[in-house]
Structure 1
Amino acid sequence: MQRILLLMVLILSVACSSGEEASSSNPKQPLAPAEAAPSIDPDPAADPLPAKKAEDLKVEFSVIDALGNKVSFDSIPNRIATISPSATEILYKAGGTAIIRDRASRYPAEVNSLPSVGSSYDPSIEDLVAQNPDLVIIEALTQSRFIGQLQQLGLKVFAIKIETIDDLYNSLINIGTILGDTGYAESVVEVIKQDLVTYGTGAEGKTALMLIGDQDQNLYAATKKSYTGLIASLAGLENAAGDAEDSGPYPGFALMSTEQILRANPDMIFTITPAPEPAPRLSQSLGFIPPFKGLKAMQTNKVIESDVVIFLNSPGPRIVDAVAFMKENF
């Protein structure tokens, strides 16, 4: 009996040792994941870097305006006043909106519902200040005299100008930068460039005079340095006024005698009438000047009345419309 019990103990001990070896030779299986501990919301006071609210975010930058002035900003302005047609059209083309305008700013159509400061040459500073703008955009050549007064009243002023096509591009990009979207303004500039390429062909060899008159029936031709002259140049026309220098009441225009116009004898004459209708159009009045009946443009019915707004009063993005108008009348 004792011998049988001893034999059973030996068998059991061998079996146990074999099980342990088998267990140690097999790879271990991953333990079952422990139950996740409940999350604990951190104490806000213990957060070393609390998130800033969107309205608390500040952005500091500077932009050089058309007068060479460095204008600094600590946020994107959202109450912008424009007190010249060029300023208004540049702002809206760059993707912005205004809170007040000058009386002559009528494009785009939505600005007609805005309050007005009156004339861009003599704006109501009181009405402007009452709107509490955080930026006033002015036209550099005609409104720089307002800068000191506006700055003394605590207003930020930025000047734009449109004398050359590069002025237009720079003004759009500068305003786009101020609005916080330079990329959009740059895309607008690219579209304008492409349009000007499209409309700036087909006039090869054609000459033109761009004429305006005064109350004394004097005639003035746009010089090459004028905005109106720039339009003709972009349209591919040769300015028949040659290298005439400014003279008379209209900047960029030179007084032209009847004899000078006859000698120029352009293929086309584009006229501008500053006075609103029903005042007679200059294009019609030229027909009553006997010597002009022999002009090439008169005989071929190429004396064309032009829009005073886009050809004279509102230099800006609609220069494309003016160039397209000229091409339509080649």
Structure 2
Amino acid sequence: MSRRTPRLLAATLAVGALLLGGCAEKTSTDTPAASGSSAAAAFPVTVGKLTLQKRPEKIVSLSPTATEMLFKIGAGKQVTAVDDQSNFPPEAPKSDLSGFQPNAEAIAGKTPDLVVLSNDTNKIVDQLTTLKIPVLLTPAAATLDDTYRQLGDLGKLTGHPAEADAVVTQMKNDIAALTKDLPQRAKKLSYYHELGPELYSATSKTFIGSIYALAGLENIADASDADGKNGGYPQLSQEVIVKANPDFVFLADTKCCKQTPETVKARSGWAGVTAVKNNQVVGLDDDIASRWGPRVVELLKAIVDATAKVPA
């Protein structure tokens, strides 16, 4: 798999997902139908400028995050094709369609009655609209509220509003439970979040940064993009990271780039960093750490569990 680049990052997690993946655990993400029968949800329904006259039965998802959301809210059986980066859940019908370079003709060949995208590359929305194919654009979330809103929108458009509401409620409850008893520290623990071995990171102004903030952590990347010129995704130098001496290093490049606590320790000058000395280099699942869907709860849990081991 190719490594991440600044341009790819801008089009993905902050502005989109780092759609590089690996093996997903084989668990079903379909949510059981909620009482009240969402299947009987009234149509037509309208979300923004999009109106669907009837429930879509041939959905094409060109966003790994949207794919996860669709299956989680119980609309998986209505999804007939997903892009080549949608690797979760494992039963998602992966195709050779691209979300990065979408091709209107190839998408139309799937005869979809709804297409879900996270980026309007090459004005693909206009192209599909001209072909009379309904399109929902679900851009990368900047906040958790964006995630909740997208889940709600997908629930309405697919005929699963109750299931979507249930997923949002569960996420909020789980996040509240994970953060309610965090240790009270005189000084916040600091961290470095690594997007790739080229040392690109994410500041607190990004979606990923907001998840770390929920855990009460301080981001060493913030000083490197204080003026926002890097869009929240600065490239740090080894010297800056070593000098900042973070308490934790979180690796979101374990799948794409085979980074581990051992490879970090072997980097020149890193052996004296607190995170390395105290065995607080944490490998994350690249996919979970780069998407803004329901599995952000798992990301937050991994962060909270790791930092909870440090005495207050």
Shorter chain as normaliser: what TM range? Answer: 0.7 to 0.9
**TM-score by structure 2 length?**
0.75
Which of 62, 66, 90 lines up with 2:69 in the alignment? 90
Aligned to 2:46: 62
Contact 1:144 1:159 in 2 (8 A): no
The alpha-carbon distance between structure 1 residues 92 and 241, as it changes in their structure 2 partners (threshold 3 A), is: same
Following superposition, the deviation at residue 274 of structure 1 comes to 6.8
* Distance (Å, rounded) in 2 between the aligned partners of 1:127 and 1:242: 41
Which of 80, 88, 92 lines up with 1:107 in the alignment? 88
The one-letter amino acid of 2:124's match is F
CA-to-partner distance for each residue in 1:103-154, whole Å, 9 max, x for gaps? 111111211xx251433212343332122111101114x6473111111222
The alpha-carbon distance between structure 1 residues 273 and 174, as it changes in their structure 2 partners (threshold 3 A), is: same
The alpha-carbon distance between structure 1 residues 89 and 258, as it changes in their structure 2 partners (threshold 3 A), is: same
Q: Are 2:274 and 1:296 equivalent residues in the alignment? A: yes
What is the count of residue pairs matched by the alignment?
Answer: 258
Aligned to 1:317: 294
* Distance (Å, rounded) in 1 between the aligned partners of 2:168 and 2:57: 23
1:228-267 correspondence runs (5 A): 228-245=208-225, 252-267=232-247
Larger radius of gyration: 1
Aligned to 2:135: 157
* Distance (Å, rounded) in 1 between the aligned partners of 2:158 and 2:131: 23
Contact 2:265 2:271 in 1 (8 A): yes
Aligned to 1:270: 250
The one-letter amino acid of 1:213's match is G
RMSD: 2.4
* Distance (Å, rounded) in 2 between the aligned partners of 1:225 and 1:143: 24
Percent identical among aligned pairs is: 29
Contact 1:272 1:282 in 2 (8 A): no
Aligned to 2:5: none
* Distance (Å, rounded) in 1 between the aligned partners of 2:85 and 2:54: 29
Contact 2:215 2:300 in 1 (8 A): yes
Moved more, 192-201 or 295-304: 192-201
Aligned to 2:24: none
CA-to-partner distance for each residue in 1:194-245, whole Å, 9 max, x for gaps? 111122353652221101335xxx3122111223212212333222222543
The alpha-carbon distance between structure 1 residues 181 and 273, as it changes in their structure 2 partners (threshold 3 A), is: closer
Higher relative contact order (CA 8 A, sep 6+): 2
The one-letter amino acid of 1:322's match is L
* Distance (Å, rounded) in 2 between the aligned partners of 1:325 and 1:115: 28
Moved more, 228-237 or 187-196: 228-237
* Distance (Å, rounded) in 2 between the aligned partners of 1:322 and 1:80: 28
1:162-177 correspondence runs (5 A): 162-177=141-156
CA-to-partner distance for each residue in 1:227-273, whole Å, 9 max, x for gaps? 3212212333222222543677xx64211122321232111110122
CA-to-partner distance for each residue in 1:129-185, whole Å, 9 max, x for gaps? 122111101114x64731111112221100113221000000011111112332221
Higher helix share: 1
**TM-score by structure 1 length?**
0.71
The alpha-carbon distance between structure 1 residues 62 and 89, as it changes in their structure 2 partners (threshold 3 A), is: same
Unaligned segments of structure 1, at least 5 residues: 1-56, 65-69
